[in-house]
Amino acid sequence: MFEIRIHSRGGQGGVTAARLLAMAALHDGKYATACPFYGAERRGAPVVSFVRIDDHPIKVYSQIRDPDLVIVLDASVMDVVDVLNGLKKGGRVLINSAHKPEFPGFTTFNVDLTGIALKEKLVVAGSPILNTPVLGALAKMGIITSESAKKAISEMFSDERNVKAADAAYREMSV
């Protein structure tokens, strides 16, 4: 089972990103679950979401303590949350950043999701929406296919800018 923990701030699309990722995995013929964890948080508060992907039915629906991959949609969350806590040895980190930070012992990927969202004018209430571009980055990493990412995005959103943002993240991220 491949387990993913997504760190974001309320209003950035982290919870929706988890749902989209699970949908894309289902389109790839996998089993998947998405589970958010938040209380009465408001826009801007730290939020965490979880995704499990497997070739077999998934019988657990809970928080993920020891993920294989951590996604950080807002680097400022790292000031208040230990996003690497429990990350499996040799695990991967995907961070929304124009610059590649170093996390010793982990493989790090970065892409400027915020810049992509702003370029595509994917903004709600002044916040760039990062849920669709991150799917393109995850496709580039091989977590899902690009085709399944686009299909999941198109099923949830009719605005073509969302697919364009995913395509841009796929192109711009280096692996």
Residues making up the chain, counted from first to last = 175
Domain 2-172 fold is: Pyruvate-ferredoxin Oxidoreductase; domain 3 (3.40.920)
Q: Which amino acid is at 171?
A: R
Q: How far is CA 28 from CA 19, 170, 174, in A?
A: 14, 17, 23
Answer for the pair 173, 110: CB distance below 8 angstroms, yes or no: yes
The CA distance from 9 to 153, in Å, is 20
103: helix, strand or coil = coil
The CA distance from 28 to 140, in Å, is 14
The CA distance from 147 to 144, in Å, is 8
Q: What is the pLDDT along the chain (175 residues), one digit of tens a residue?
A: 999 999 999 888 899 999 999 999 999 999 999 998 876 656 778 899 999 999 999 999 889 999 999 999 999 999 999 999 999 999 999 999 999 999 999 999 999 999 999 999 999 888 899 999 999 999 999 999 999 999 999 999 999 999 999 999 999 998 8
- Starting at the edge strand found earlier in the chain, the sheet holding 46-54 runs 31-37, 46-54, 2-9, 69-72, 92-96, 107-111
